[in-house]
Structure 1
Amino acid sequence: MTSTRTDRWLHLDGTTNTRDLGGLPTTDGGTTQFGRVLRSDNLQTLSEADVAALVEEVGLTEVVDLRTTAEILLEGRSPLRDVDAVTHRHFTLLPERGRRTDVFAAEETDEEIWAQLPADWAESVLPRQVAPGDEGEPPAVRSYLGYLTDGTDNVLAALRSLAAGGRGAAVVHCAAGKDRTGVICALALAVADVTPEAIIADYAQTAEVIDALVAKLASSPTYAEDMTRRDVASHTPRAESMRRVLELLDERWGGPVGWLEQHGFGADEQAALRSRLRN
C-alpha cells in the first residue's frame, strides 16, 4: 500500500473508491467523525497491507456488503473474511432470482448455495429495477428509488447494522461503491443531519475515480459486460441524480428521515446511528 489517507480518501492497493464519511458538515454547524463509517467498492482484491491498514490503523470491525449472492459467490472471498475481529453482514438491495441466501452462513464451495444461482445468472447480477410510477425519472434515479421499493427490508437492516455497530469502524460496499452504497450512505448521512449539499457532493465524488473504477470492474468476468456495453460517462455519478432522489423523498415522505420513520426506523435507532457518525 503506497499511502493510507488523503483527506477523506483511503488509498489502498486493492480498491479504487474507498473514502471516509468523516469531515462532512452538519446542519447545526458540526461535522461527522472520521473512522466511523467508510464507503468502498469491492473488497475482494485487498492486499495484506490493505487489511492491516483497515484493521489496525482505521479500526475496522464491520463490513456491510450490499451485493447479490451471485456477486459474492462469483467474486470470491474478501481477505477480511479471515479476520476474526471483523464481522461481515450481507444485505442485498437488488431482487435476486430464486431464494435469497445468507451467503455468509456457508462457504462459497457449498453446492447447495451454488445451486441457487440461475442458469442466466449474468442477467441478474446487476438488474435495473424501476419503482412503480417512476418510469419517467432518469435511469439512476429510477434505480435508486427501486432499491427503496424492492429492497426496503435490507435498506433498513443495513442501517440498523451500522446503528448497532459501536465505536469501531464499518465499511459499506457494493461492486463500484457508488449506487447501492451511495443510497445507504446518503440515508445514513441524512440521519446524522449532514447538509443535503454535502450528501450530494459525497455521492458525486466517485466521479473523481470513475475511469480507474470502470477499468477495475471491466477486468472481472462478473462485471465486464455491464462495464463495456456502456461508455464511462454513463457510469459516472452526477450530482443531479442524488439531488433528484432527495427532492422526491422530500415531496413524498418529508425527507430521507421521514421515509425511514414511516418504514419503521425509529427514534432510538436514529439516535444510535447519528451517534456513531458524530460522537
Structure 2
Amino acid sequence: MNRGVTQSAPCRRLSVGNTYNLRDIGDYQVADGARTGWGRLFRSDAAWFTSGAELADLSLRTVIDLRDDAEAAALPTGLDAFVPNVLRRPLDPRPLMSTVSANSPDPLGELYTALIHERGAELATIVADLARPGALPALVHCAAGKDRTGVVIALVLSAIGVPDDVVTTDYALTADYLTAEFFAALPTESGAADPADEAFRGARPESMAAMLRVLSAEYGSARGFLTGYGLPNEAIDHLHSALTH
C-alpha cells in the first residue's frame, strides 16, 4: 500500500444511494504535513437518489456533474432535489478519442493528457467551483466516477500538495469497484470512454501518473496548470485550508 493511502479505512467507500464507486477522499497526507479531512470532498459514479435521508450524513452543499445533457437525461440522479447547488460542468471525453494512438500501451493515460491539453479552462472552472467559500462538502461525479472525475480529483489533490503516489493510488481504487456488470449496464449515452473497449475499463495508477508527469513537465505542477488558466493562487490556498486539518 502506498504511503498516505488507507484503502481499508471505514469511511473510504460509502454505501449511499445506488452507487458503485462513491468514495471519500479524506485522510490523505499533504506535503506540508496536513491531511485531507473526512467528509469534505467525495467522488462517485452517477446514481439515483430518492430521498434526502440517504444523503443526510454527507451534508452536501455542492454537486458537480461532469456529464452532458444527454447523459444526465439518460440517467438522472435526483440530486437537484436535495442539494442546494448542483452544477453541470460537462467534460465529454468522446471528442478526444481521436487523439489516442490506435496501438497505445496506455490509452487512458493519453486520454487524460488530452483532457489536460484541450479542457484546461473547463477544469480550472471546476476547481474554482470547489474553492468557493462555503462550497464544501462537495461531490464530483460523472458516469463511472473514473475518467473525468479521476482527472478532476487528481488535479485537486495534486494542487493542494498531495504526493503523486497517493494521487495515483486514490485513482486506482476505482478498479476495485467498477465491475463488468457495471459497464454493461451503462446507458449508451453515458459518455464513459468507450466502455465496450476493455482497454478503457481499467484504472491503472500508471495512467494517472502519465497525466501528472505532463502537468509537471509542461506547467511545473497542478497548481501551475490551474493558475495558468486563471485560477488565483488564493483560491487554491483556500481549497487547501477547506480540505485539510
Shorter-normalised TM range: 0.7 to 0.9
1:52 matches 2:53:
yes
Q: Does 1:147 align with 2:150?
A: no
Report if aligned partners of 2:113, 2:214 keep a CA contact under 8 Å in 1.
no
| 1:41 maps to which of 35, 39, 45 | 45
- How many angstroms does 1:182 deviate by? 0.5
Whether contact under 8 Å (2:60, 2:138) holds in the other structure is: yes
CA, structure 1 residues 137+218, in 2 after alignment: closer, same or farther (shift >3 Å)?
A: closer
**Matched letter for residue 41 of structure 1:** D
C-alpha separation in 2, matches of 1:128 and 1:263: 20
User: How much is the aligned-residue C-alpha RMSD, in angstroms?
Assistant: 2.5
Which protein shows a greater Rg?
A: 1
Decide whether aligned partners of structure 1 residues 241 and 188 sit closer, same or farther in structure 2, where only a CA change above 3 A counts: same
Matched, 1:255 2:208: no
Q: Indicate the residue corresponding to 2:27 in structure 1.
A: 23
Counterparts in 2 of 1:223 and 1:74: CA distance versus 1, 3 Å: closer
Supply the distance in 2 between the matched residues of 1:167 and 1:221 (Cα, whole angstroms). Answer: 30
Counterpart residue type for residue 33 of structure 1: G
> Take 1:151 and 1:266, find their aligned partners in 2: how far apart are those partners?
18
Aligned pairs (5 A) from 1:88-127: 88-94=86-92, 126-127=94-95
Q: Structure 1: which 5+ runs fail to align? A: 96-125
Q: Structure 1, residues 224-263: CA drift from partner, whole Å, max 9, x if none?
A: 8943x323x6401001111111112111111211111222
How many residues get paired?
Answer: 234
Shift of 1:70: 1.8
For the residues of structure 2 that align with 1:234 and 1:80, how far apart are their CA atoms?
Answer: 27
Which of residues 213, 225, 230 is equivalent to 2:197? 230
Mapped to 2, the partners of 1:248 and 1:168 lie a distance apart of 29
Percent identical pairs in the alignment equals 31
- Higher relative contact order by CA 8 Å / sep ≥ 6: 1 or 2? 2
Q: Is the 8 A contact 2:61 2:134 kept in 1?
A: no
Q: Runs of 5+ in structure 2 lacking a partner? A: 1-8
How far apart are the structure 1 equivalents of 2:120 and 2:88?
14
Rounded to whole Å, the distance in 2 between the matches of 1:141 and 1:191 is 19
**C-alpha distance in structure 2 between counterparts of 1:222 and 1:165, whole Å:** 37
Deviation at 1:78, TM superposition (A): 1.9
5 Å matches for 1:186-205? 186-205=154-173
In 1, Cα distance between the equivalents of 2:114 and 2:32? Answer: 31
Give the 5 Å matches for 1:176-195. 176-195=144-163
Separation of aligned partners in 1, 2:105 and 2:126:
26
> 1:215 pairs with 165, 181, 188, which one?
181
* CA distance, structure 2, for counterparts of residue 257 and residue 20 of structure 1: 22
Distance 1:222 1:132, change over 3 A: closer
